[in-house]
Structure 1
Amino acid sequence: MLVQIGQLMLSLMLLVMLHELGHFVTARWFGVRVERFFVFFDVKFAIWKKKIGDTVYGIGWLPLGGYVKLSGMIDESMDTEQMKSEPQPWEFRTKPAWQRLIIMLGGIIVNIVLAMIIYAVLLIANGERFTKVDQMKYGLAVDSTQLSLGLRKGDIPVGVNGIAYNSLEEINKEALLGGQTLEIKRDGKQISLPIDENFRTQILNYKHGFFVPEFTFEVDTVIAESPAFKAGILKDDKIIAVDGFTTPLFSDFTQKVAEYKGKTVPFSVERKGQPIELMVTVGKDGKVGIGNRSSYLDSLEGRKDYSVGEGIALGVVKPFDAIATQVRGIGTLFQVKDGRKQVAGPIGMVKQMPTEWNWLFFWSFTAMISAWLAFINLLPIPGLDGGHAVFAIYEMVTGKAPSEKVLEKAQMVGIFIILGLMVFIFGNDIVNMIFG
Structure 2
Amino acid sequence: METFLIRALQLIMSLSLLVIIHEGGHFLFARLFKVRVEKFSLFFDPWFSLFKYKPKNSDTEYSIGWLPLGGYVKISGMIDESMDTEQMKQPEQPWEFRSKPAHQRLLIMVGGVLFNFILALFIYSMILFAWGDSYIPVQKATMGMQFNETAKSIGFRDGDILLSADGEELVRYDGDMLRKVVDAREVTVLRGNEKVSVYIPEEMMQKLMTDSVKFAYYRFPFVIDSIVAASPAQLAGLQKGDSIVALNGTPVAYYDFMNQMDSLRKNKASLQADSLDPHQLTIAYYRAGVADTISLKADSTYKIGVTAQSDLTKLLPSVDVKYGFFESFPAGVALGVKTLKGYVGDMKYLFSKEGAKQLGGFGTIGSIFPATWDWHQFWYMTAFLSIILAFMNILPIPALDGGHVLFLLYEIIARRKPSDKFMEYAQMVGMVLLFGLLIWANFNDILRFFF
TM-score, reference length from structure 1: 0.88
Give the SS at the match of 1:168.
coil
Structure 1's 359 and 216: CA in aligned 2 closer, same or farther, altered over 3 A?
same
Query: What displacement does 1:306 show?
Result: 3.9
Matches within 5 A, 1:306-385: 306-333=323-350, 338-385=354-401
Paired AA for residue 106 in structure 2: L
Distance (Å, rounded) in 2 between the aligned partners of 1:428 and 1:257: 33
Which range moves more in the overlay, 152-161 or 270-279?
Answer: 270-279
- Kindly indicate whether the alpha-carbon contact (under 8 Å) linking 1:260 and 1:282 is maintained by their aligned counterparts in 2: no
Query: What displacement does 1:206 show?
Result: 6.2
Structure 1's 334 and 44: CA in aligned 2 closer, same or farther, altered over 3 A?
same
Q: Does 1:250 align with 2:267?
A: no
Give the SS at the match of 1:338.
helix
Structure 1's 276 and 113: CA in aligned 2 closer, same or farther, altered over 3 A?
closer
Q: Of the candidates 164, 185, 194, which is equivalent to residue 180 of structure 1?
A: 185
Give the SS at the match of 1:311.
helix
Which range moves more in the overlay, 11-20 or 263-272?
Answer: 263-272
Distance (Å, rounded) in 2 between the aligned partners of 1:112 and 1:77: 26
What whole-Å deviation, never above 9, does each CA across 1:83-135 have from its counterpart, x for those lacking one?
Answer: 22222222222222222222112111111111111122222333332221221
- Kindly indicate whether the alpha-carbon contact (under 8 Å) linking 2:148 and 2:213 is maintained by their aligned counterparts in 1: no
Distance (Å, rounded) in 2 between the aligned partners of 1:198 and 1:396: 42
Structure 1's 395 and 251: CA in aligned 2 closer, same or farther, altered over 3 A?
closer
Distance (Å, rounded) in 2 between the aligned partners of 1:197 and 1:287: 42
How many residue pairs align between the two structures? 432
Q: Of the candidates 6, 13, 16, which is equivalent to residue 3 of structure 1?
A: 6
Query: What displacement does 1:5 show?
Result: 0.8
Q: Of the candidates 15, 22, 37, which is equivalent to residue 12 of structure 1?
A: 15
Query: What displacement does 1:164 show?
Result: 1.5
Structure 1's 430 and 141: CA in aligned 2 closer, same or farther, altered over 3 A?
closer
Q: Of the candidates 398, 414, 419, which is equivalent to residue 435 of structure 2?
A: 419
Q: Does 1:27 align with 2:42?
A: no
Q: Of the candidates 20, 40, 45, which is equivalent to residue 42 of structure 1?
A: 45
What whole-Å deviation, never above 9, does each CA across 1:180-224 have from its counterpart, x for those lacking one?
Answer: 332212233322222236753564466774322333343211134
Distance (Å, rounded) in 1 between the aligned partners of 2:82 and 2:342: 33
Q: Of the candidates 417, 439, 445, which is equivalent to residue 401 of structure 1?
A: 417
Give the SS at the match of 2:417.
coil
Distance (Å, rounded) in 2 between the aligned partners of 1:143 and 1:330: 23
Aligned to 2:270: none
Aligned to 2:272: none
Query: What displacement does 1:12 show?
Result: 0.8
Distance (Å, rounded) in 2 between the aligned partners of 1:166 and 1:353: 25
Distance (Å, rounded) in 2 between the aligned partners of 1:12 and 1:311: 25
Query: What displacement does 1:390 show?
Result: 2.8
Aligned to 1:219: 224
Distance (Å, rounded) in 2 between the aligned partners of 1:231 and 1:205: 43
Structure 1's 405 and 173: CA in aligned 2 closer, same or farther, altered over 3 A?
same
Which range moves more in the overlay, 279-288 or 247-256?
Answer: 247-256
Aligned to 1:302: 319
Q: Of the candidates 112, 116, 126, which is equivalent to residue 131 of structure 2?
A: 126
Give the SS at the match of 1:6.
helix
- Kindly indicate whether the alpha-carbon contact (under 8 Å) linking 2:280 and 2:296 is maintained by their aligned counterparts in 1: yes
Paired AA for residue 413 in structure 1: V
Structure 1's 127 and 421: CA in aligned 2 closer, same or farther, altered over 3 A?
same
Which range moves more in the overlay, 322-331 or 108-117?
Answer: 322-331
Structure 1's 241 and 376: CA in aligned 2 closer, same or farther, altered over 3 A?
closer
Q: Does 1:72 align with 2:77?
A: yes
- Kindly indicate whether the alpha-carbon contact (under 8 Å) linking 2:147 and 2:215 is maintained by their aligned counterparts in 1: no
Q: Does 1:55 align with 2:71?
A: no
Aligned to 1:391: 407
Aligned to 2:162: 157
Structure 1's 231 and 375: CA in aligned 2 closer, same or farther, altered over 3 A?
same
Paired AA for residue 417 in structure 1: L
Which range moves more in the overlay, 395-404 or 341-350?
Answer: 395-404
Distance (Å, rounded) in 2 between the aligned partners of 1:272 and 1:316: 44
Paired AA for residue 304 in structure 2: V
Aligned to 2:108: 103
Structure 1's 300 and 168: CA in aligned 2 closer, same or farther, altered over 3 A?
farther
- Kindly indicate whether the alpha-carbon contact (under 8 Å) linking 1:111 and 1:370 is maintained by their aligned counterparts in 2: yes
Structure 1's 200 and 378: CA in aligned 2 closer, same or farther, altered over 3 A?
closer
Distance (Å, rounded) in 2 between the aligned partners of 1:314 and 1:276: 47
Structure 2 unaligned segments of length 5 or more: list them: 266-277
- Kindly indicate whether the alpha-carbon contact (under 8 Å) linking 2:36 and 2:75 is maintained by their aligned counterparts in 1: yes
Structure 1's 237 and 89: CA in aligned 2 closer, same or farther, altered over 3 A?
same
- Kindly indicate whether the alpha-carbon contact (under 8 Å) linking 1:157 and 1:168 is maintained by their aligned counterparts in 2: no
Which range moves more in the overlay, 75-84 or 409-418?
Answer: 409-418
Paired AA for residue 195 in structure 1: I
Which range moves more in the overlay, 291-300 or 229-238?
Answer: 291-300
Structure 1's 431 and 48: CA in aligned 2 closer, same or farther, altered over 3 A?
farther
- Kindly indicate whether the alpha-carbon contact (under 8 Å) linking 1:157 and 1:171 is maintained by their aligned counterparts in 2: no
Give the SS at the match of 1:417.
helix
Structure 1 unaligned segments of length 5 or more: list them: none
Which range moves more in the overlay, 303-312 or 73-82?
Answer: 303-312
Which range moves more in the overlay, 73-82 or 392-401?
Answer: 392-401
Distance (Å, rounded) in 2 between the aligned partners of 1:230 and 1:116: 53
Structure 1's 203 and 390: CA in aligned 2 closer, same or farther, altered over 3 A?
closer
